[in-house]
Chains A and B, each alone.
Chain A
Amino acid sequence: MGTPIGRRRFLRVAGGSAAAAVWLPRRAAAQSPVRVGFTLSATGPYAVGAGITQRPNYDLWVEQVNARGGLAVPGQGRRPIQLVEYDDRSEIETAVRLYEKMVTEDKVDLLLPPWGTAMNFAVAPVANKYGYPLIGPTAASLKIADLNLPYFYAVLAQPDAMMGALAAFLTEVKRQQRLNRVAVLHVADLFGLEQQGALMPLLKAGGFEIVEAKSYPLGVKDLTDVLKGIKAKGAEIFVALSYPPDTILATTQAKAVDFSPPVFYTSVGTAFPFFRDRFKASAEGVLGMGAWNPKVPYPGARGYFDAHVAKHKKEPDRWASAFAYATLQILEEAVGKVGLDRTRIKGYLDATRFSTVVGPIKFAKGVNQATPGMVGQWQKGEFEVIWPPERATAKAVVPKPAWA
């Protein structure tokens, strides 16, 4: 495919002397930026997650790469990264339109994904149509795999693996502490629906008594009535398959109606440092989906954590943030090996076992097979990996202490 910018630059200088025509394009190519396009939600219900998990990592990576002189492209030296970015306003149709525009009008060299499962689900077909590899750090959906899009890659553990880990953890808790009564809430969005779909059969197979299973809309304002009902039914295990605003809402309101079950699990947003800072001592013992912390034994993990803190004056979230950074490491490595030919980038992604700040990543049919589903828990200000045992950075604390 080649780079349109290089070609345009070439044409501009083609009228020059023969010597210059030989010398200039190389130099021009070395200076012309690699255009990288993406949308992130700056407004609307997805804005919080996008602003915490993806945006800071995109910015950090660009700064680091450009400080090294740019993205290493074989045969072209280092080329600086130039971002082409838009606000999709948390509107899926807007994001789809913008991804079309970035390819056809802005003519970007590479695409980065938007935030969130439903968003990735919607723009993945666009990227695939134009042959742009898209490595999604915040996409958890088996349905994306069903779409059979060879150019889409997912690094997070998918719902079956993630809920498998949760169910295995709960089964262990059940065995040790005889906790049996489960209540499950989920957000009525592709993310919540799929996680719930994966979890419920596992809970039934595990012999749990399900005392409540309800959904609530994205942007829900009030869950007190539902939480009161769950409390009255004596739930011992509370699972919310939730997004950041509702993770905060459910925790706040559970605290306000004094519902403090031995196992309290919320999903996206639990791993945000904002959660710990907001709930302070009450965060202790809250379980959450996925987990990562700077103590994990992978090369670059600590360095990434420190660089994030230094640049943004805030800590990265303890789950998908590091995965977002890992996708950029992967992309940088692929471009460094095979250049900006997107078909060859895809070939490299399919064939390679990557080493990243979240450990090894290896794709099979576009889904990362090397990272298991994980459960995390806030313990004394750190989000510890507590499941699976071979990845754990601390032992689980069950029952959770009462709300402080």
Chain B
Amino acid sequence: MSLTLLLDVAAGGLLLGGLYALIAVGLNLQYGLMRVLNVAHGEFLMLGGYLTYLLHVEAGVDPLLSLLVTGPVVFGAGVGLHAVLYRRLLRQERTREELEANSLLISFGLLFILQNGALLLWSADIRGYQYLDRPLRAFGTVFPANRVVAFVMAAIVTALLLLFLRRTLAGAAVRALMQDPVGARLMGIRVPRVHALCFGLGAGLAAVSGSLLSMLFELTPFVGLPYTITALVVIILGGLGSVGGSLLGGLLLGVVESLGVYFTAPDLRMVISYGVLALVLVLRPYGLFNPMARRPGQSGQA
């Protein structure tokens, strides 16, 4: 095969990887900060996708504009859910293991409720719409226009998130809490508030990714879980609690998957993802890009 085709396929993977990164960053914010592993992450993605679909098909709203609705709405829902489901749990946490186990149970329940709720509301029918599904010619090859647009939007949202974390007081509080929960608390950071913010952000980011994905793929109430798994692979690749690591991990996984599928068969996509995961767990268990790699057991202990 030619070099151009190789680059072409890799670039295609990069486009998808941008979305993986966005999905994973949201999950990582929740986990890195609170040790709450939200396995219903993909369900928030599914909700975002359906919201965009409904806004576009029923109300004629441009899918890109719908991000302005889906992100904030699901962010709000996330903050609300945090208040109802997690606040008490986080207050009562005794050990980290107990917190992780209980939060896992809660999010599994959430997964089933959201999935079956969607099934009741919207049935199992495949939903989809055509949006910019035409070829875009660049660099002597073609890319699906909707993928390029989705990638650019994912990049913009990620950049905004990084700006928020680096440049605002609330962002500084999030980073402080990630680095040293006890110290942050002593400095007067209101921990429950930051937790609620991060849970909402995670859900909102998932919804935005879902809105973008709905431009590319068809929706069913069951689309979420595979993306949760992809996001887990990405955050393990990039390092738990590392936002930058998730970004690089997402892009890397996208490229590896695309090339792997190209050289083997689409049947093996999951095998390739898990293969990468296994390799990383064996060779660099703290993640490829985690600056904290040499400081095991340091983070997140309250």
| Complex alpha-carbon distance, A223 and B9, angstroms | 11
Which of A215, A225, A245 has a CB less than 8 Å from the CB of B12?
Answer: A225
Chain A residues near B217 (CB-CB < 8 A): 221-222, 249
- The residue of chain B having its C-beta at the shortest distance from the C-beta of A251 within the complex is B133
- Judged by a CB distance under 8 angstroms, whether B226 is at the interface is yes
- The residue of chain A having its C-beta at the shortest distance from the C-beta of B266 within the complex is A216
On whether the beta carbons of B128 and A216 are closer than 8 Å, the reply is no
| Complex alpha-carbon distance, A33 and B262, angstroms | 56
Q: Interface residues of B, CB < 8 Å — how many?
A: 35
Known: A216-B266, A221-B217, A256-B134. A229 touches B146 (CB 8 A): no
| Chain B binder among A39-47, A158-166, A329-337, A357-365 | A39-47
| Chain A binder among B90-98, B118-126, B175-183, B232-240 | B118-126
- Judged by a CB distance under 8 angstroms, whether A1 is at the interface is no
Known: A214-B266, A255-B134. A42 touches B126 (CB 8 A): no
Chain A residues near B2 (CB-CB < 8 A): 232
- The residue of chain B having its C-beta at the shortest distance from the C-beta of A50 within the complex is B124
Most B C-beta atoms less than 10 A away, residue of A220, A221, A225: A225
**Which chain A residues in 262-280 approach chain B with CB under 8 Å?**
278-279
- Judged by a CB distance under 8 angstroms, whether A48 is at the interface is yes
Known: A44-B222, A248-B126, A278-B130. A216 touches B16 (CB 8 A): no
On whether the beta carbons of B144 and A48 are closer than 8 Å, the reply is no
On whether the beta carbons of A257 and B262 are closer than 8 Å, the reply is no
- Judged by a CB distance under 8 angstroms, whether B142 is at the interface is yes
Q: Interface residues of A, CB < 8 Å — how many?
A: 34
On whether the beta carbons of A253 and B267 are closer than 8 Å, the reply is no
On whether the beta carbons of A224 and B267 are closer than 8 Å, the reply is no
User: Nearest chain A CB to B26's CB is how many angstroms away?
Assistant: 19
| Complex alpha-carbon distance, A279 and B258, angstroms | 26
| Complex alpha-carbon distance, A51 and B9, angstroms | 36
Chain B residues near A248 (CB-CB < 8 A): 126, 128, 218
User: Nearest chain A CB to B192's CB is how many angstroms away?
Assistant: 38
Chain A residues near B142 (CB-CB < 8 A): 257-258
On whether the beta carbons of A255 and B126 are closer than 8 Å, the reply is no
On whether the beta carbons of A48 and B9 are closer than 8 Å, the reply is no
Which of A43, A215, A256, A279 has a CB less than 8 Å from the CB of B265?
Answer: A215
User: Nearest chain A CB to B4's CB is how many angstroms away?
Assistant: 9
Chain B residues near A252 (CB-CB < 8 A): 128, 130, 133
Which of B1, B130, B226, B265 has a CB less than 8 Å from the CB of A221?
Answer: B226
Known: A215-B265, A228-B8. A43 touches B126 (CB 8 A): no
**Which chain B residues in 101-151 approach chain A with CB under 8 Å?**
119, 124-126, 128, 130, 133-135, 142-147
On whether the beta carbons of B9 and A217 are closer than 8 Å, the reply is no
- The residue of chain A having its C-beta at the shortest distance from the C-beta of B227 within the complex is A221
Chain B residues near A216 (CB-CB < 8 A): 265-267
Interface string of A185-221 (1 = CB under 8 A from B): 0001000000000000000000000000011110011
- The residue of chain B having its C-beta at the shortest distance from the C-beta of A41 within the complex is B124
- The residue of chain A having its C-beta at the shortest distance from the C-beta of B4 within the complex is A232
- Judged by a CB distance under 8 angstroms, whether A226 is at the interface is yes
| Complex alpha-carbon distance, A188 and B147, angstroms | 26
User: Nearest chain A CB to B8's CB is how many angstroms away?
Assistant: 6
Which of A221, A226, A229, A256 has a CB less than 8 Å from the CB of B5?
Answer: A229
| Complex alpha-carbon distance, A255 and B134, angstroms | 6
On whether the beta carbons of B124 and A42 are closer than 8 Å, the reply is yes
User: Nearest chain A CB to B169's CB is how many angstroms away?
Assistant: 40
Which of A44, A220, A224 has a CB less than 8 Å from the CB of B144?
Answer: A224
- The residue of chain A having its C-beta at the shortest distance from the C-beta of B15 within the complex is A224
Chain A residues near B16 (CB-CB < 8 A): 222
On whether the beta carbons of B146 and A245 are closer than 8 Å, the reply is no
On whether the beta carbons of A217 and B8 are closer than 8 Å, the reply is no
Known: A47-B124, A217-B266. A258 touches B135 (CB 8 A): yes
- The residue of chain B having its C-beta at the shortest distance from the C-beta of A274 within the complex is B126
User: Nearest chain B CB to A308's CB is how many angstroms away?
Assistant: 18
| Complex alpha-carbon distance, A226 and B221, angstroms | 26
User: Nearest chain A CB to B271's CB is how many angstroms away?
Assistant: 10
| Complex alpha-carbon distance, A339 and B16, angstroms | 59
On whether the beta carbons of B134 and A43 are closer than 8 Å, the reply is no
User: Nearest chain A CB to B223's CB is how many angstroms away?
Assistant: 9
User: Nearest chain B CB to A46's CB is how many angstroms away?
Assistant: 10
- Judged by a CB distance under 8 angstroms, whether B13 is at the interface is yes
| Complex alpha-carbon distance, A221 and B220, angstroms | 12
On whether the beta carbons of B9 and A229 are closer than 8 Å, the reply is yes
On whether the beta carbons of B119 and A43 are closer than 8 Å, the reply is yes
Which of B13, B119, B135, B262 has a CB less than 8 Å from the CB of A226?
Answer: B262
On whether the beta carbons of A48 and B126 are closer than 8 Å, the reply is yes
Known: A252-B133, A253-B144, A255-B133. A225 touches B9 (CB 8 A): yes
User: Nearest chain A CB to B262's CB is how many angstroms away?
Assistant: 5
Which of A47, A214, A220, A256 has a CB less than 8 Å from the CB of B146?
Answer: A256
- Judged by a CB distance under 8 angstroms, whether B54 is at the interface is no
| Complex alpha-carbon distance, A225 and B222, angstroms | 24
| Complex alpha-carbon distance, A245 and B217, angstroms | 10
Q: List 30 A-B contacts (CB under 8 A).
A: A43-B119, A43-B124, A47-B124, A214-B266, A216-B265, A216-B266, A216-B267, A217-B266, A217-B269, A221-B217, A221-B226, A222-B16, A224-B147, A225-B266, A228-B5, A228-B262, A229-B262, A232-B1, A248-B126, A248-B128, A252-B130, A253-B144, A255-B133, A256-B133, A256-B134, A256-B146, A256-B147, A257-B143, A278-B130, A279-B130
Given contacts A221-B217, A222-B266, A232-B5, 4 further A-B contacts (CB under 8 A): A44-B222, A229-B1, A252-B130, A257-B135
B residues adjacent to A (C-beta < 8 A): 1-2, 5, 8-9, 12-13, 16, 119, 124-126, 128, 130, 133-135, 142-147, 217-218, 221-222, 226, 258, 261-262, 265-267, 269
